[in-house]
Structures are given as C-alpha cells and as structure tokens.
Structure 1
C-alpha cells in the first residue's frame, strides 16, 4: 500500500510524532515552521501514513524562488521510522504539489560520514543542503567526569579557569533574549555574517517550546555581564545549538587595567552541554563546521572551539526531487543569487561554512 501524506492542523499531535520517531529533527517541529512565517514563507505539515499508521511526519516550507516558481523545502526532514521509506515519499509528494512547485529539497536527518553518503536514494538526487551539512555531535550519555575527560586538554584547563574566575552559566527562555541578542548581533557584525529580523528568533523561542519541543537560551556571565551565549532548539533526544556568539569584556579590571580573559566561551559550551544533559537530551549538535578549513576565516576559529569538546564529525546531506523540467535552470540561478549575496555581504563568493 502506498504512503499517504495527510495534512494535519493539530500542533501538539504533530509534534508528538516528530518527537518519538528515530529519524527526526527539531527543525521539523511545529515551532520552527511558525518562525519561518516571519520570513514570508508558508509551512504545511503532513503525517506520513502506511496502512493507517503514522510512520513519519513532514513539514514543507513553501518559498518563492522567482515569480511563478516555488520551492518545497523540508528543513532537516522528513521525519521517518526508517530511511527505507524515503523513495516512497516521492510519489506522495507529487500528488500534493501545486502547479507552481518546481522543486522539492529535503535534508533527511540521518548522520553519515562522507564515504557513506549515496548520490541517489530512489528518485532523490544529491544536492547542496540549506542547513549546515557538516557538524560535530557529542553523545551526552555517561557521567560528567567522562564528558570532561573527552575534552581537549586546553578546553579542560579553560573550564577550570572559568570556574576560578567565577563565570556563571544560566539557561532560560524569553527573559534572557535581550542579553543573547546583544551577543549575537555583535558577533554577526564582527564576522560579517547575516541575520534574520529579531521577530524570527523571538517567534522560534516562543513557538519552539509551545507544542512538545523545546527552545531555550544559555548564557555565560562574568561579573554580571553576559559574554557568550547561544540559542537552542530541541526535539526528542537531540538539542541543536543554532545561533550564538561571544563578545570581549571591555570593562576595566579591578585594578583599573585590562580585564583578564575569564574564558566565557569555553564556559558557555561546557555549561550548555551539562544543561542539555540535565534536560534529558542524549545528543548535543554543535550545528555547523566548515566544509573546507581555512585559517583566515572566522569559521575556522569556531571549528577549532567546537572540536575541542570531543564528539564525532558527521554530514547531513541534502537531496532534491525535480517537479518541473525547468528546475535545473532554477537551481543554477539560486546558486548564482547566493554567490552574489556572499560577495555583497563579505566580499567573497564562498559560503560561510
């Protein structure tokens, strides 16, 4: 019996399926789709049913590419009980697609190493993902002492130094947003990165925790000032560090001279891992490391910091399904537009990661 895509309007029932299936992601959660509305994009949610049983879920974000042509995008999706079902989703998608839908892009959340990534899965063909393909994930199981022992020796020293300096790590919700936003915007300006309007992040923080998922902020403060922090979106057993950064403490020290480095970024990462473990998550996704290492780029320093916390380097590949004979031209046009945007913002045609 073929798979069916059944539209669903019940946010809590939808998120229940997303949270319990093994191949899943918080970006397929209801709250992430609501945040995308702030960008002028429209989410549609489906349950994948086989003989009346929910065997998956799919959140498709409809994005206007050019007049008359839309993209259906499943961020880190679809959610599945088995990757073996992925080829069977294509005919079901063709039935629900509109006339203007020219292409479907998916990012099935099954982590792989490069040599194990297939170029095709049934009718799906390998393509560039929108979310970072390369990341580091840490298994939070076991004792805290084992996690600490897995850190690079420099990271362990900095964790201890931050403790001696009195760095405090806190987590919470909207009450921490303004402190996060100060750090996030300063980091983006320093590294010449882009950002969405503030309403996008506020909506994700509110809606991401409203229907069965989790969205929260972690900050590292020293002397009452937040110096590093991040935004997390979680579902099921995995939490994802989506946005964040750090700022320099430019306040004078107690003796009037330059203030010593309190190692707040290291304290933030370590504290966020312990906070995630306390929340019951088993996997910590650092969310994005560079495809190619370049010591001259901001992303290289971020990569080195994340690598210091142990974990496994994995890929989350993207795949596409053509719905129109013009889709190859559209894909090339999108790549050109992205390159021009990179040139305008940072003076380089290359992507951030």
Structure 2
C-alpha cells in the first residue's frame, strides 16, 4: 500500500479530518501546533491519502531545530489514522517530506493500549504493562514519548448517575461534601485565576511550565476551526482553589494542565477553615461539562510510569484513579532518518537528565 502526504493550509478542513478519524487526539489539532509555534517549533499539516485518493488520516508534524543543521520531527499524540495498520506505510512518504537535516520522526499513535482497571494500587504492575507494548511497528522503533505515556481515560457515554456510581467511594463522599459546602465548579474564563493555581502547583511540586504565551496561543486558536480550548475552575466562596486547562477535538477532551492550592483565608467561623474538597469537585464537574458538550472520552493526561509514594505524581495518580480506573498507554516510536538518530536520542536523554537534576534535584522525569 502506498500512502501520500498532502500539505494543507486550511485549518478547518484539516481539523475536520482529525476529528473524524477513529484514532485521533486534540494534540493533532491546529491549535496545539500554534501553541508549539510559540516555543520555536514549526508546524506542518498534512492529509494522508491512499492511491485511490481516499483520505485515511491526518498528521501535524512539528519541526524542532536543536542546533543549526540538526532538526527532529514530531507528531504529538499522532498521526490521526483510520487504523494503526497504516502506520508502517507512512515511512516512505515521511522520508520524502523530511529535510537532510531532519534526524528522525517521533510519532505517538493515538491508539490506547489497554492494561486493566485496578480496584486499588496494589494490583498495578507497571512492568507487566510495559511487556504488552510492541517494540516496533514496521520500521518505527519504540522510543521515549514527549507526552505522558501512561494515562487514564473515562468513558462519558453512561448516564450521570451511572458515572457517579462508578467513582471510588472516597470521590463520591468528597463530591457530596463539596456540594454541601457550596463549592461551584465549571467552565470559567478567568485565565488569571487558573494561571495563579497552575504556577503555585508547579512551584510546590517543582514541575516547571512553558511560557505563558504558549497557553494563551492555544486558547486563542483552540476555539476556532471546530475545536475547543477552555478552563474549568472549582471555587469556594468565590475563590478559585482548583482548575485545569483543556484542549478538545472530535470526541475527546484532554485535561492537559492544572492543579490546586490551599485556602489560606481566615475561617468565616470557628478556629480552622474546613477543607471544601475543591479538587474533587473540579474533576467531577469537568467530567460532567465534557459530557454536556458532547465528548465521549475524557483523558486525564498523565500518571506515573513508575510508582513512587515520595513523589507529587503519586498523589496525582491516586486522585485521578478515584474518578476512573481505565489505565492505558500511548507509546512512542521513532523513524530514523539519519545514522546520527540513535546517538542523538542518547544525547537528548543525557541533556534531559541534566536539566531535571538542575531544576528539580533528580534525573527522573516528572511522570
């Protein structure tokens, strides 16, 4: 089978194809590429056709210059495809569109690999999970992902009552507590409030963040061309205590960034302010909001590859697991375009370890 990459410059026509593919992701949408442009990437969008002229997929390729004369290509949680069987046939057309300075193409096929739905953390076996992931897909070789490889999905097709019954008992209790305490959660255009929460969370957990202009660029473009970018906040007595940034396209919304803060205000009565369970209210109402807006899949976006109770990510994992136990993996694969590809990936790993150590005190990745 021969496939062809046809560059497209019409954002709406491109997004329509991405949204229609069975294997797809909001990160293959136009808005995500515009956000990455702010970080120095050059986005290119292609429709994938076969010899009959049928459109069988779409791909947003991001070219990143590492140093002059050395580039890499990256399809964030992509390409969007009718079937994973098409991926090996993309090698030839990718080699045609690549420049001599492009060392490799990294893809992250949006084809979730199922690993079970544990009732508790003791049943999670990450080594066994990894053993289920193919080492290659045709000429594409298993590699490190740029996006979180391990995540949790929630199926929003059930009724609200069924979704609530499916939550962990602690989540149900905390959501009810938040409701009794008057917590309000839902879509909220107060980007400043989200940004304050996000920055505070990153500083507390030593996570790091992109420049503000990156998130603003996705917001500016995300609600055009058939997609959505939005924030959800959870407020108690008017103060935003938890929130998240979402990017959505097709049938999926992805919770990409967010966090929570403590309520440091003096109590209105008594000698201690009660915990209003704002994070639980945030997760629950963001799921209801997604369902209301027609999304059938909610991607919680990122849980640890290695479980370590001393890390911030472990607490995030436990929180997300209360709202869905459907864990999946989205592995990455590289198509090597140059003999320098393999030593370059090793050098990038060394560089990442150095940056992690300098900024966070450990060579371990965040997730």
TM-score clears 0.5: yes
What SS does structure 1 have at the residue aligned with 2:191? helix
Mapping of residues 310-349 of structure 1, within 5 Å: 310-349=324-363
Deviations 1:217-257 (A, max 9, x none): 00000001000000001111111000000000000111263
In structure 2, what is the Cα distance between the partners aligned to 1:203 and 1:86? Answer: 30
Measure how far apart 1:136 and its partner are: 0.6
Structure 1 consecutive aligned stretches of length 4 or more whose deviation exceeds 6 Å: none
Mapping of residues 256-271 of structure 1, within 5 Å: 257-271=271-285
Which residue of 205, 208, 221 corresponds with 2:235?
221
Matched, 1:37 2:51: no
Measure how far apart 1:170 and its partner are: 2.2
Matched, 1:160 2:176: yes
In structure 1, what is the Cα distance between the partners aligned to 2:272 and 2:220? Answer: 39
Deviations 1:81-107 (A, max 9, x none): 111110000000001101110110000
In structure 2, what is the Cα distance between the partners aligned to 1:195 and 1:28? Answer: 21
In structure 2, what is the Cα distance between the partners aligned to 1:295 and 1:137? Answer: 22
Matched, 1:10 2:24: no
> How does the TM-score come out when normalised to structure 2?
0.94
In structure 1, what is the Cα distance between the partners aligned to 2:252 and 2:31? Answer: 16
In structure 1, what is the Cα distance between the partners aligned to 2:286 and 2:135? Answer: 35
> How does the TM-score come out when normalised to structure 1?
0.98
Measure how far apart 1:211 and its partner are: 1.1
In structure 1, what is the Cα distance between the partners aligned to 2:298 and 2:186? Answer: 17
Mapping of residues 283-302 of structure 1, within 5 Å: 283-302=297-316
Which range moves more in the overlay, 72-81 or 207-216? 207-216
The runs of 5 or more residues in structure 1 that have no matched partner are none
In structure 2, what is the Cα distance between the partners aligned to 1:170 and 1:300? Answer: 26
Query: Cα RMSD (Å) of the superposition?
Result: 1.0
Measure how far apart 1:65 and its partner are: 2.1
Measure how far apart 1:148 and its partner are: 0.8
Aligned residues: 351
Measure how far apart 1:325 and its partner are: 0.4
In structure 1, what is the Cα distance between the partners aligned to 2:186 and 2:297? Answer: 20
Deviations 1:186-218 (A, max 9, x none): 000000111011110011112111111111100
In structure 2, what is the Cα distance between the partners aligned to 1:93 and 1:271? Answer: 41
Matched, 1:86 2:87: yes
2:167 maps to what in 1? Answer: 151
2:157 maps to what in 1? Answer: 141
